Chain A
């Protein structure tokens, strides 16, 4: 299966300024988040991938399609939800989505059928005959999602899908994106400056900073790896307990006040710790999974990209390399 996104020294200049500077990397995740502060080049990257902006150098492949040579094929494979308002005010919702589906190549009858279905799918079924100009902001966002879905793309490109939404509408949009990810074979490319949106919907993250890659992070493996990192508060003789855990393959750090930090090897189950604690008459009063939130990863990537080597190549070491993070957690 082709990679979701392959960047090959992608460079984009706009208005005489370098906006994307030699982006390189491969992302295979089913749901990729583009993360970065405002002005970092997230939307520019999406626009370059869709052929809206001419590249100044390098190239990219989306679902294996070269953005220069196979643009028409690429556009027929993706559904795009832009960041800003994008609608024809005097058209009804269903008419508009049908129009877009027909332009993507669906015959008129199938396009109409799918437009109705897409509207029900995003939860706007009852409003589909209302003019788009009369929709609220949240409804317009959902209508944009409906038009991106209607022609059955293989990949959805969502540019700031929760922009301007109130908390319930945002939650609704996130649930929809999660559902699309969970229940369809579709791949996602989601751009957002909101860490929570990306964390809740994506399994791989490309972090941009000032037009360069500050980090590429596989959130799934990060989550799996972090699940083995424990913080304990115990009561009792913990030296022997720590020794037995070490014999089991764990790395332990005993801290004052009965606190312990443990990194468990992959094969060890957490019930083993309870068993050993029971054998040693140790009370486990508190047990926490300590995992990096995306915020930690993001901040780390932002910090690391300030290093001179990262500035030059746009290739800061990905946050999956755990050395700095472990040091921060007690030097294990």
Chain B
């Protein structure tokens, strides 16, 4: 099939491996999101600035000379709370990313009915969701657990001897908590964009899911004197998970003013987040059909 001949010829060349074909979706997803210069600049800032700040922080904390110069001895300790706070900041940025990028991944395929074209290829719905999810999960990973591990490595290499061994449990905590958070954000934003289809509305809804039920839950807790309302506050649930995995759960039990704080227990937090993620994937599964069946 040559352009100048305007004649059809079959394809007899090589084919790519079937197992990795869903990565085409991921590659096109990245090429699409980085086509925007605004997003590219924003993402570079998200990836670099916190990492550079963290690196400087570690460098300063491990340099007694500089600490003496700025009179901050003991204040800049690199401990579990440092990594927890750093990941929480990146957790918020991850939410921003999910709200911005998530809806643009699936809704364009649904808006003009392109989904049957995807699903008529040798590609299952699981592959489709996996390929689209990887776009967001990798973007979130690049600003969360990957730089966190690099910071851990930096501290291990320039910090006091034995620091790494003492804090080795941070590594699985960083990876597990970040993957749970990114899986939840990814499932939520993809499910919302699949159901709403309108990108702006899906972005708004992603934020709404975090703030509206949280407010309702807080009111419920205040009236009923319980922690059950916490389960509607996804951000707080993740904070609970982070504190437990990082081994600083005692920080959760007291508020800043010293009064006891009612908080969802760790198993309830993890289960709720996993259940919410699963529910989002169920919603996605219901929506991602090549053809919809109208009942009645």
Contact = CB atoms under 8 A, between A and B. Distances in A.
A52 B116 contact: yes
Interface centre among B115, B116, B294 (most CB of A within 10 A): B116
Contacts of B293: 14-15, 53
A15 B293 CA distance: 6
A152 interface: yes
Interface string A117-142: 11011000100000011000000000
Contact of B122 (A88, A104, A121, A133): A104
B123 interface: yes
Given A88-B112, A149-B8, A75 B18 contact: no
Interface string B97-135: 000000000001101111111111111100000000000
Interface residues of A, number: 51
Interface string A43-59: 00001001011000000
B8 A110 contact: no
A85 B116 CA distance: 10
A147 interface: yes
B3 A103 contact: no
A101 to B, nearest CB: 9
Given A72-B122, A99-B24, A121-B7, A147 B117 contact: yes
Q: Which 6 A-B pairs have the closest CB atoms?
A: A152-B11, A105-B15, A80-B120, A52-B290, A15-B295, A117-B1
Contact of B120 (A50, A88, A125, A179): A50
B28 interface: yes
Interface of B: 1-3, 6-16, 18, 21, 24-25, 28, 108-109, 111-124, 289-291, 293-296
Which of B6, B112, B121 has the most chain A CB atoms closer than 10 A to its own CB? B121
A120 B13 contact: no
26 contacts: A15-B294, A15-B296, A47-B290, A50-B119, A50-B120, A52-B119, A52-B289, A72-B124, A75-B120, A75-B123, A80-B116, A80-B117, A85-B113, A86-B115, A87-B113, A89-B111, A89-B112, A99-B24, A100-B121, A102-B16, A103-B118, A104-B121, A106-B13, A117-B1, A152-B11, A183-B7
B103 to A, nearest CB: 14
Contacts of B123: 75, 103
Nearest to B121: A103
A228 to B, nearest CB: 35
B16 to A, nearest CB: 5
A184 B7 CA distance: 9
A92 to B, nearest CB: 12
Contacts, number: 123
A114 B24 contact: no
A88 B291 CA distance: 17
Contacts of B21: 103, 105
A102 B290 CA distance: 19
Nearest to B11: A152
A106 B15 contact: yes
Nearest to A152: B11
Contacts of B124: 72
Interface in A150-171: 151-152, 154
Contacts of B122: 72-73, 75-76, 104-105
Contacts of A102: 16, 24
B5 to A, nearest CB: 9
Interface of A: 14-16, 47, 50, 52-53, 72-73, 75-76, 78, 80, 82, 84-90, 99-100, 102-107, 110, 114, 116-118, 120-121, 125, 132-133, 144, 147, 149, 151-152, 154, 179-180, 183-186
A136 B3 CA distance: 23
B18 A47 contact: no
A194 to B, nearest CB: 21
A75 to B, nearest CB: 5
A151 B123 CA distance: 14
Contacts of A88: 108-109, 112, 114
Given A15-B293, A15-B295, A106 B11 contact: yes
B104 to A, nearest CB: 10
A107 B116 CA distance: 22
B11 A82 contact: no
A53 B113 contact: no
A103 B108 CA distance: 17
A105 B15 CA distance: 5
Contacts of A147: 117
A254 to B, nearest CB: 51
In this complex, the member of B2, B15, B120 whose beta carbon has the largest number of chain A beta carbons within 10 angstroms is B120
Contacts of A73: 122
Nearest to A144: B117
A91 to B, nearest CB: 8
Contacts of B24: 99, 102-103
B121 A121 contact: no
B188 to A, nearest CB: 23
Contacts of A110: 11, 13-14
A125 B3 contact: yes
A152 B10 contact: yes
B112 A87 contact: yes
